[in-house]
Amino acid sequence: MNNVMNSAISKPCTKEASHTSYAYGCIAIVVILNATAQLLLKATAEYSLHQPTTGLQLQHLLNVYSVSAAVCLGGSFLAWRKALAGIPLSRAHPLCSLTYVIMPAGAYYFFDDTVSIPYYIGIACICFGIFLISTSEEEGT
């Protein structure tokens, strides 16, 4: 009898937990796709600067990088909608700032961008802030 009652109580909790995990997975996808899109836009800008004609021209802005960036942003939008169905917006939105953590790593790897000490301090603040926000629901109001 107890087992039946326990399973009846735990089933919705497990379902809710998996729904939340799915939403957090979607946010991870959003962050990765957003950072990739930013890096691809940077690649587009670099590509257009190295073209023989002067100035910014539309045909130089429409290339494999910019189209891939648009695809990434489209995918990010779809994942964002899925994420919002599972977790509160006030908790989900600050998590997107993790893009600021991934982006410099990508820029350092692909474009040899320098990463300064204030950048690391900023990233540490973002990560700790996100930890507090994501655990704030457990604390209650």
Partner 1 sequence: MPYYPEFTLIILAAFAVAAGHLSLKKSSLLAGSQGAITYLWAMLGVILLSMGPVAAIYVLRKVPLTLAVPLGSLVYILVPLGANLFFSEKLNRRFWTGLSLVLAGIIIVGLSKA
**Alpha carbon distance 104, 83 (integer Å):** 24
Structure tokens at 131: 């930890």
**Alpha carbon distance 119, 85 (integer Å):** 33
Q: How far apart are CB 121 and partner 1 at their closest, in Å?
A: 6
**Alpha carbon distance 109, 90 (integer Å):** 32
How many residues bind to partner 1 according to rule CB under 8 A?
Answer: 38
Q: Is 122 in the site for partner 1 (CB under 8 A)?
A: yes
Quick note: the x/- pattern for partner 1 over 62-81, rule CB under 8 A, is ---------------x--xx
Which residues of this protein are in contact with partner 1, per CB under 8 A?
A: 77, 80-82, 84-85, 88-91, 93-94, 97, 100, 104, 116, 118-119, 121-137, 139-141
